[in-house]
Amino acid sequence: MAESKRDYYEVLGVSKDADDSTLKKAYRQVAKKYHPDMNPGDAEAEKKFKEASEAYAILSDPEKRRQYDQFGHAAFENGAGGGGFGGFDFSGADFSDIFGDIFGDLFGGGRRGRASQGPMKGMNIRKSVRITFEEAVFGCEKELDMVLKDPCTKCGGTGAKPGTSPETCPKCQGKGQVVYTQQSFFGMVQNVQTCPDCNGTGKIIREKCPDCGGTGYISNRKKIAVTIPAGIDNGQSVRIREKGEPGVNGGPRGDLLVEVVVSRHPIFQRQDMHIFSTVPISFAQAALGADIRVKTVDGEVIYTVKPGTKTDTKVRLKGKGVPSVRNSQVRGDHYVTLVIQTPEHLSQEAKEALRKFDELSGNTLNSVSGEKETKTVKKKKGFMDKMKEAFDD
């Protein structure tokens, strides 16, 4: 009954003023979600799929949509054709564009489209190169030993034996694509895929070039110079134009993408454009202040430690960090953490000097023992007082 049917716009989840593009997009989503091949044995999903298909068949047709907007479901209660689902007639509804996509996804085929016979850029090639921490900071030149494909000089890149020419593919008639017909709930649906015989080229090589084996390319070992820019970080890549795979049908070569792997440094650590390190100092240097040598990527620099410096004090060496990749004149900073080292082995003279220093600066070595002596004296005094009181009684 017409009264039991849901509103077609509600079924597709669109407003009543939705244009054709919105309708198609909405139906594609619902159809893929509830398609029986994606939900085998699910009667409820099949019901929703049929409901959405019926809604799209009506709303995608301008005349039927006009009738539906005016009379609702009653416009199609009489005269419905025998074919289709639930007595509904799908004749005249065009699902080929949508189901070319849907069936391509479901059955592993490519999406519908025209054969790409024009020039196409070649595939990119990815390589990696390892560099040191300093090379990443200041940049460097590296050389990669690679095998690259070049057009075969014997056949001129056609892949055919000299004196012969590639022939038009009989399977696709030179289009590079073939049309497969599949049975769907709406009848036969056409799906366009890349021709398996010519791999989309539209040409078949009967007699292959003896030098390139019909590929049209010869592999050659080459050395490629790579300029690593200053400031590059671990995992970033350098793009070298047109050093990748050859293009198709006269298209440009792909690019070479060189990923940079930066080795760890024994002293320095990096975060963005800043460098971090730890420098040990002695107690005397921390207490009295002193000039110390600090290693940076630019070499050693002299830093003056202030008297009374505490351990884990952080100092900043401005402009001693990593240059910006975009502007090598802009550099980050180097942050140094000063850590006071406790000596493990002291001579007898050093120990006596340290005890003397302690006596003059608070006598911390005897603070606990002094407290013990005081407590002992108090205990003895308390005992003697009690004894005296007992004899007096």
pLDDT in tens, 75-91: 776 544 333 444 455 54
Q: Check residue 201 and give its pLDDT.
A: 79
Encode pLDDT of 128-161 as tens digits: 999 999 999 999 999 999 999 988 989 888 889 9
Encode pLDDT of 354-364 as tens digits: 899 888 888 88
With 80 as the cut, is the pLDDT of residue 368 above it?
no
Q: Check residue 138 and give its pLDDT.
A: 95
Q: Which helix (H) or strand (E) holds 106?
A: helix 96-106
**Bridge partners, residue 178, by sequence:** 193
Average pLDDT, the chain: 82
**Angle at 272 (CA atoms; ends 268, 278), nearest 5 degrees:** 25
d(C-alpha 359, C-alpha 371), whole Å: 16
Contact between 109 and 202 under an 8 Å Cβ cutoff? The reply is no
The model carries a pTM of 0.57
Which residue has tokens 């454009």? 273
Q: For residues 385 and 313, which has the higher predicted lDDT (pLDDT)?
A: 313
